[in-house]
Structure 1
Amino acid sequence: MDELPIGRRVAYWRGRRRMSQQVFADRLGKSKSWVDKVERGVRRLDKFSVLHEIADVLQLDVQLLMGRDPERRTDALNCIDQIEVEEIRAALERYDSMTAFFDAAPCPPPLDEMRKAVSHAWLTYQYARYGVLTRALPKLLRDAQAADAAFSGGDEAHKAAHLLGQVYQIASSTLRKLGEHDLSWLAADRSMAVAQRAGDQLLAGLATFRVGNALLALGRARPALEINVNIANRLAPNAENEATPERLSVYGMLLLQGAMAAARIGDSATVRDLINGAEEAAELLGGDHNYYWTCFGPTNVLLHRASAAVELGEGRQAVETHEAIQPAEFNALLPERRAHHLLDIARGCTQVGDVEKAGAMLLEGDRMAPSEIRCRPLAHEVMSDVLRRTRGAPPAPIAELAEHMGVGV
């Protein structure tokens, strides 16, 4: 990558961010022809100010764009930088289990310690502390892989595989939030294979949920829909599958993720059927719970109703659904869920032209979980939309948040 001409690096990162040349050109305020010439090396990039603008649009360190080692950002407390991405990538590229097939595995950390570390990582994710989590993930991945490689059979092997499967899922969800969709898919795919070795159908169901999430982020909505519905049908409570709280939670989340995929392709009838099915599971569960780290329950179903409405372009319905949620139930949810929902509602508000309320939703989400608003590429897009459509100077709190996010006013 470092040896590539700078135009090729621009093309590479534009592709990683899933932007067309036209979208990229619009965000730069340039023509599509200008972008094409830069990427083909016909036009030179010799102004540092232009390089900074390109790096801002692509959301990466300008040093990385120039083929140099990236410098750690001063705001890395809340977000992720390219050094951390590469450290996570290196950890995902390890194959300790294959090495252990030929040689004795290294001494792994005790499983009790691993279990505590994994639980802490889940809570760190659900409190939307992504900067803390991304710096811990490389070591957590290495330790979990070493533990998994150390046991070849028996109960300890199942426990180690279960923990590794969870770590892969945490990594997948975090990377998806931060726009690293290819790595998110890789981690989710790994979690499916490990879940099978762990012998836990519900863990495999959750791994399917993560794969569906990653596929959706990659623009693969139809396979995301199919895989979620397929596994949900196999896990559905029935005469053979007891309706335990854990099963209801995983089953319900698969239906909700399937509904989000259906919304992405505009299939409103399937969205309605899947969310209604999840609602029935939530009623059986009775209240919002965090079994298998799902945060599933009636309130989360309402959050997904609103989110699906946004994906369908029905912003007004999303806002009405939000307004019908009981504040006590909403406030009882973990910060990531609440801030994620407020970001969805901000998107819905922009769809109906209420940019003032959209800005208010971003501010409220930032108060709950700053990383969910400041670090997510999707939130940057919403803030850009709010700023562009605000008449005159934006309110001071919005301008300040935009500055923290690195979004130009």
Structure 2
Amino acid sequence: MDELPIGRRVAYWRGRRKMSQQVFADRLGKSKSWVDKVERGVRRLDKFSVLYEIADVLQLDASLLLGKEPERRADGLTCIDEVEVEEIRSALERYDSMSTFFATTPQPPSLAEMTKSVNHAWLTFQYARYGVLTRALPKLVRDAQALDSVANGDDAQPAAHLLGQVYQIASSALRKLGEYELAWLAADRSMAVSQRADDPLLAGVATYRVGSALLALGRARPALEVNVSVANRLAPGGGNDSNPERLSVYGMLLLQGAMAAARMGDNNTVRDLVNGAEEVAGALGSDQNHYWTSFGPTNLELHRAAAAVELGEGWQAVDTHEQKIMGQDGFNALLPERRAHHMLDLARGFAQIGDLDKAGEALVDGDRLAPSEIRCRPIAHEVMSNVLRRTRGAPPAPFAELAEHMGVGI
């Protein structure tokens, strides 16, 4: 995008922020005609003061509008910036499998090397090191695509399997960081690749990622339908085995369907799906990480609490936490992303019942477990703003310090 005129860059980022010209103009205190002329190059942007106002409205570094790479933020290890988003987008938009018809693909890593890199990326995600992960994702995606494009014979399906996993990792990280459309694109790519990998369970987990992205985009009903539809196909019995891998994937699909139903306010469907997942978790016996799902009895309770929050029943989420999660060995054994995610849900639950001190404590506890899960997620910023706005007097010091780190005004 470096070669684009500055007006085109303004138009590009305005579109990314989903602002109409009128909304953008209103926030700048300008006319729609002025914005249109700037974006078409009819009017020059020759004042740095105006340029910085535009950058502020678009919530990006002014150097991006000038076609330069911005300086990395001091907190770059915990969040994502526009440059990294565009690098990931560029990697996702590659079509290496098609390009091999016309040119030789650069030498990809071996299957063993790629497997090691993918496993490391999954652990990086589950430890909520999102900044580290997003810096590595563009190369990881390109390497997996390159390997998949040249693999043949016995290597073809394992290479496709790895590429499908990479797309899932990308989808999960992008969804956490608020890039929901890119998250959906990556998840959709994973579903297509999973068919070539000939692994129904990988396709099931890809469906879970698609459902998560759809839910983030506000499309709860399609998210519910796709999760339940594929869950029914993967259900144990009727010719399907009941191994731990299948139970884990099936259970997570049910839980993701429950989250979608909760977003729709469908309490009955939530109850049915959570109860179904509870049976599966009981059959599994313990929390496991097959297909990187972290599914098991404890994760089930985390989703029960999260669904209660989505239904506006904060008291139920708090009760679930206090009765079935807090202090349990299963919870303490979960990886940081899962535990910090639950503390964020718990903070929302406490906020719903008006216990702002406890909401703040939950956010601080989540930050101690996995700073990126709290400091970098849009939903966490919303909760922080909500609690600060409703808090009378000065907030407790740890909470105020966290708000400062997050850039949320007190």
Alignment TM-score, normalising by the size of structure 2: 0.89
Aligned position for 1:227: 226
CA-to-aligned-CA distance 1:339-358 (integer Å, 9 cap, x gap):
00100111111111111111
Residue 4 of structure 1 corresponds to 7
Q: Secondary structure at the match of 2:246?
A: helix
Which residue number in structure 2 is paired with residue 331 of structure 1? Answer: 332
Offset of residue 71 of structure 1: 3.0
How much has 1:50 moved relative to structure 2?
5.6
Question: Which residue of the partner structure matches residue 151 of structure 1?
Answer: 151
Q: Is the 8 A contact 1:72 1:83 kept in 2?
A: no
Q: Give, as a single letter, the amino acid of the residue that structure 2 aligns with 1:360.
A: E
Aligned equivalent of 1:40, options 11, 32, 44: 32
Provide the residue aligned with 2:139 in structure 1. Answer: 139
Alignment deviations for residues 49-78 of structure 1 (CA, whole Å, 9 cap, x no partner) = 8657635xx4x4354467764332121011
Indicate the residue corresponding to 2:71 in structure 1.
71
2:279 aligned residue: 280
- Provide the residue aligned with 2:388 in structure 1: 387
Task: Name the structure 2 match of 1:165.
Answer: 164
Q: What secondary structure is seen at the aligned counterpart in 2 of 1:288? A: coil
AA at the equivalent of 2:358 = K
Shift of 1:13: 4.4
Amino acid at match of 2:347: A
Q: For 1:41 and 1:383, how far apart are their aligned partners in 2?
A: 37
- Identify the residue that residue 373 of structure 2 maps to in structure 1: 372
What SS class does the counterpart of residue 193 from structure 2 fall into?
Answer: helix
Q: Is the 8 A contact 1:11 1:39 kept in 2?
A: no
Check 1:283–1:39 CA distance in 2 against 1; reply closer, same or farther (3 A cut).
Answer: farther
Give the corresponding residue for 1:322: 321
How far did 1:41 drift?
5.2
Q: For 1:136 and 1:9, locate their aligned partners in 2 and report how far apart those are by CA, in whole Å.
A: 25
CA 1:9–1:264 in structure 2 vs 1: closer, same or farther (change >3 Å)? Answer: same
Give distance in 1, aligned partners of 2:384 and 2:268: 31
Q: How does 1:226-375 map to 2 (within 5 A)?
A: 226-326=225-325, 327=327, 328-375=329-376
Paired letter, 1:355: L
Q: Distance in 2 between matches of 1:40 and 1:88?
A: 32
Q: 1:106 to 1:131 in 2, by over 3 A?
A: same
What is the CA deviation profile of residues 177-209 of structure 1, one whole-angstrom value per residue up to 9, with x for unaligned ones? 000111111110110011000000000000011
Aligned partners of 1:345, 1:382: CA distance in 2, in Å?
11
2:393 aligns to what SS in structure 1?
coil
Q: Which residue identity is paired with 1:72?
A: R
CA separation in 1, counterparts of 2:175 and 2:5?
A: 25
Report the Cα distance in structure 2 between the residues aligned to 1:205 and 1:116, rounded to whole angstroms.
Answer: 23
2:129 aligned with 1:129: yes
The answer on whether the counterparts of 2:129 and 2:372 sit within 8 Å (CA) in structure 1 is: yes
Mapped partners of 1:178, 1:91: distance in 2: 17
TM-score (norm 1): 0.90
Cα drift, residue 224 of structure 1: 0.6
* Secondary structure of 1:77's aligned partner: coil
Identical aligned residues as a percent: 67
The one-letter code matched in structure 2 to 1:366 is D
Q: Distance in 2 between matches of 1:34 and 1:108?
A: 49
Aligned-partner SS, 1:188: helix
More displaced, 320-329 or 256-265?
A: 320-329
1:36 is displaced (CA, Å) by 8.7
Q: Which amino acid in structure 1 is aligned with residue 360 of structure 2?
A: G
How big is each residue's C-alpha offset from its partner over 1:317-354, in whole Å with a ceiling of 9 and x where there is no partner?
11111111242211111100000010011111111111
SS at 2:238 equivalent: coil
Q: Which residue of 1 aligns with 2:400?
A: 399
Q: Is the 8 A contact 2:100 2:149 kept in 1?
A: yes
- How far apart are 1:105 and its partner, in Å? 3.3
Other-structure match for 1:28 = none
Match of 2:100 in 1: 100
**Structure 1 residues 341-350 or 105-114, which shifts more?**
105-114
AA aligned opposite 1:40: K
Question: 1:67 and 1:386, CA in 2 relative to 1: closer, same or farther beyond 3 A?
Answer: farther
Do the aligned residues in 1 keep the contact of 2:51 with 2:62 (CA within 8 Å)? no
Structure 1 partner of 2:195: 196
Structure 2: runs of 5+ lacking an equivalent: 39-46
Number of aligned positions between the proteins: 393
- When structure 1 is superposed on structure 2, of 314-323 and 100-109 the one drifting more is 100-109
Partner residue, 2:41: none
Q: Specify the alignment match of 1:15 in structure 2.
A: 18
CA distance in 1, matches of 2:280, 2:65: 48
State the AA in 2 paired with 1:192: M
RMSD: 2.5
Distance 1:358 1:65 in 2: 38
